[in-house]
Structure 1
Amino acid sequence: MLNSLYSGITGMKGQQTKMDVIANNIANVNTTGFKSQRVRFQDMISQMDTNAQGPNNNGRGGINAQQVGLGTQVSGTDMMMQGGSLQFTGRALDFGIQNGDSSFFIVSQDGNPAGTMQYTRDGGFYTDFAGNLTTSNGSRVMGIAINPPQPEGINTDIADNQVLQPLSIPQEVNDSQLQAYNIDNTGTIIGTYSDGNAYVIGRVALANFANADGLEKAGENLYNASANSGDPIEGGPTDDGYGTIRSGFTEMSNVDLATEFTEMIVTTRAYQANSRSITTSDEMLQELINLKR
């Protein structure tokens, strides 16, 4: 009978974890590029009361094993990597990745090409006073830098032997001043200068993963590669499997509130049911104690 008490506890703990995940999903319903999570459960080992027996030579049939489960445990918290809807902003430095659920922008906290890279679906970028292309937390956006900038029309495809560099938009090229700039659907940064010419400044890079579900959340809309995500494979927008960049859009959270509220109801009832199994077991123990009277 004591096993039922502990089984109820494992159920309550598991449902509490699920409620934590649901609450986090709902809290991030407006977080740019957020990927919701789900909780999956598995049963624990079972107590063996009677081993299974096969049929014998006396004509007697086999007997199945008799087992009693000892509760449940969380088997995983999966990330749902489906792309969120793109929301129009009209802002020149807002970018959403379309048709590339396993693709991410590449950023670096210190802009060191040999340092540790992080990955994000949050394409709300900024430029600082020096023209550096950054995320909202100041990390440098990485890509293929064309240095010095070249007239529009050169080949800017990302090749395997090219090293990622932090991207920036120079204020001056060939003694002419920057007038305007834009980033097209291929991620190419094109600046227009006071001499009337358009120059290719660089190209935003993307990283693809064999198992994007294996990435680890690092906060600030960033992900770290893990032992199970596979190594990042750099490419560019419109490359096969990388999707395209939509300028003037940001990716919304993929949290479905209807699903989350439904799961919240189910989780609440499951938690209540597990707590009831504990109180019922307690009542049975009380009846056993009362036998002495």
Structure 2
Amino acid sequence: MLRSMYAGISGMKNFQTKLDVIGNNIANVNTTGYKKANVTFQDLMSQTTTGAQGATATRGGVNATQVGLGSQLGTISNIHTQGFQQVTNNPLDLTIEGDGMFVLQEQGGTTYYTRAGNFYLDDNGAIVNPNGLYLQGANGNITIPTDAQSFSIQTDGTINYIDAAGATQEAGQITLASFSNPAGLVKDGSNLYLDSPNAGYNGTVTPEQNGAASIISGSLEMSNVDLSEEFTEMITAQRGFQANTRIITTSDEILQELVNLKR
């Protein structure tokens, strides 16, 4: 069979994957803390019909003759650039300005990481995310007494509140997880990430210390998806898919001509 037909099939599969990723990016254009994904391709092995030859005393060198056998999926990378800030004026809506991730934890269970800073107070006054995971501070879960009159969150992550007697108290300080390669984190759904061997976890850091990121209260970091870029990529992926279908159609016509030689 023609090698071009199999090359076209591999191209169609790859562009379908690219369209899947683009569709997911567009679907999450308004998702809090979402980080867009990017697809790259690689060529498959090439069939060598003539090997390379070095120069001799009487004749110069000859390059190898190779025919490519299509393409394959290279990477699907998460791009952790900063998303734009949306002001909400809700003190429990937090934006990380810089690198780092919020640390969330089930009680005595799995640790998660996120850039989505939409938090709430549960019935015990603990700060939790929409899934009920506890926001972690320097001393574990952060809890604001239920009889507190008001509270505020500083840019260094310190949470202060006014108690029933009118005195200012500190509820705790938010810490951020540091990763040398945040693109290596594994998406777990619900705006959550899990650590992986390639994420380069460097432990937790205190906001605004030693160049660490700051925390902005009253705003949310939105998705970093650029719709104009995604639509452009979608058009090129669609055209690439169409071109590969044309390769298959043309290869099929050639095979049909070979079959018709018998007549």
TM-score range, shorter chain: over 0.9
CA contact 2:177–2:201 (8 Å) conserved in 1:
no
> What percent of counterpart residues are identical?
48
C-alpha distance after superposition, 1:197-236 (max 9, x if no partner): 1011101110010111101100000000101001242012
What CA distance in whole angstroms lies between the structure 2 residues aligned with 1:69 and 1:3? 9
TM-score of the superposed pair, with normalisation by structure 2 = 0.98
What CA distance in whole angstroms lies between the structure 1 residues aligned with 2:104 and 2:217? 18
What CA distance in whole angstroms lies between the structure 2 residues aligned with 1:221 and 1:232? 21
* Aligned partner of 2:250 among 280, 283, 293: 280
1:111 equivalent to 2:107? Answer yes
What CA distance in whole angstroms lies between the structure 2 residues aligned with 1:87 and 1:246? 11
Aligned-CA RMSD value: 1.0
* Aligned partner of 1:144 among 115, 138, 142: 138
Partner of 2:2: 2
User: Which segments of 5 or more consecutive residues in structure 1 lack a partner in the other structure?
Assistant: 146-164, 172-176
What CA distance in whole angstroms lies between the structure 2 residues aligned with 1:122 and 1:208? 16
1:289 equivalent to 2:234? Answer no
Equivalent positions of 1:70-149 (< 5 A) are 70-100=69-99, 103-108=100-105, 110-112=106-108, 115-145=109-139
1:201 equivalent to 2:161? Answer no
* Aligned partner of 1:214 among 176, 184, 195: 184
Letter in 1 for 2:176: L
State the SS of the aligned residue for 2:138. strand
Displaced runs of 4 or more, over 3 A: none
State the SS of the aligned residue for 1:118. strand
* Aligned partner of 1:183 among 129, 132, 153: 153
Distance change in 2, residues 1:221/1:232 (3 Å): farther
What CA distance in whole angstroms lies between the structure 1 residues aligned with 2:225 and 2:258? 49
Letter in 2 for 1:31: T
Letter in 2 for 1:167: I
What CA distance in whole angstroms lies between the structure 2 residues aligned with 1:51 and 1:231? 46
Q: May I ask how many residue pairs the two structures share in their alignment?
A: 263
* Aligned partner of 1:236 among 178, 188, 206: 206
What CA distance in whole angstroms lies between the structure 2 residues aligned with 1:273 and 1:7? 11
Distance change in 2, residues 1:289/1:75 (3 Å): same
Measured after TM superposition, the shift of residue 85 of structure 1 is: 0.6
Letter in 2 for 1:224: L
TM-score of the superposed pair, with normalisation by structure 1 = 0.88
User: Which segments of 5 or more consecutive residues in structure 2 lack a partner in the other structure?
Assistant: none
Letter in 2 for 1:85: F
1:49 equivalent to 2:49? Answer yes
1:29 equivalent to 2:36? Answer no
State the SS of the aligned residue for 2:8. helix
Letter in 1 for 2:199: S
